[in-house]
């Protein structure tokens, strides 16, 4: 049974930082690229960033470039999203997804999803 479990979401003030984690089980972690997406109320799920299976390649949505960093620990089957300089516009439920070996920025390329973790940024 494949499980992706996000954690680390919280209420934080603008300018603050959070680190989200996504622990993966039930699949061969190194066979998958990993992505982070977010969904704000009333909006579609949007791409945040992704990392290749080896961790050597990353890609980010423009609004988070320079503020967010994705990393992974293949020994721990975990992917992270470090978020700095948060703004109220970052408020959303954040989801991690496991996809093919090629990193992708669309949700349809991901096979498995976690349940999400809430990030709320107050002004």
Quote the pLDDT of residue 82: 98
What does the H/E/C string look like for the chain?
CCEEEEECCCEEECCCCEEEEEEEECCCHHHCCEEEEEECCCCCCEEEEEECCCCCCEEECHHHCCCEEEEEECCCCEEEEEECCCCHHHCEEEEEEEECCCCCCCHHHEEEECCCEEEEEEC
pLDDT digits (tens, 9 = 90+) for 54-65: 999 999 999 999
Q: Provide, rounded to the nearest whole percent, the portion of the chain with pLDDT above 70.
A: 100
pLDDT of residue 74: 97
pLDDT(101) > 80: no
Question: What local confidence, expressed as pLDDT, does residue 102 receive?
Answer: 82
Mean pLDDT computed over every residue of the chain: 96
pLDDT tens digits, one per residue of 4-47:
999 999 999 999 999 999 999 999 999 999 999 999 999 999 99
pLDDT for position 107: 94
- State yes or no: pLDDT of 100 exceeds 90: no
């Amino acid at each position: 049974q494949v499980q992706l479990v996000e954690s680390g979401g919280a209420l934080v003030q603008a300018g603050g930082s959070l680190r989200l984690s996504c622990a993966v089980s039930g699949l061969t972690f190194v066979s998958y690229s990993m992505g982070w997406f977010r969904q704000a109320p009333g909006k579609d799920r949007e791409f945040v960033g992704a990392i290749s299976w080896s961790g050597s390649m990353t890609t980010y949505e423009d609004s988070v470039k320079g503020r967010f960093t994705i990393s992974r620990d293949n020994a721990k089957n975990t992917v992270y999203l470090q978020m700095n300089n948060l703004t109220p516009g970052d408020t959303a439920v954040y989801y991690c997804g496991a996809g093919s070996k090629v990193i992708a920025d669309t949700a349809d390329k991901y096979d498995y999803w976690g349940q999400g973790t809430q990030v709320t940024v107050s002004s």
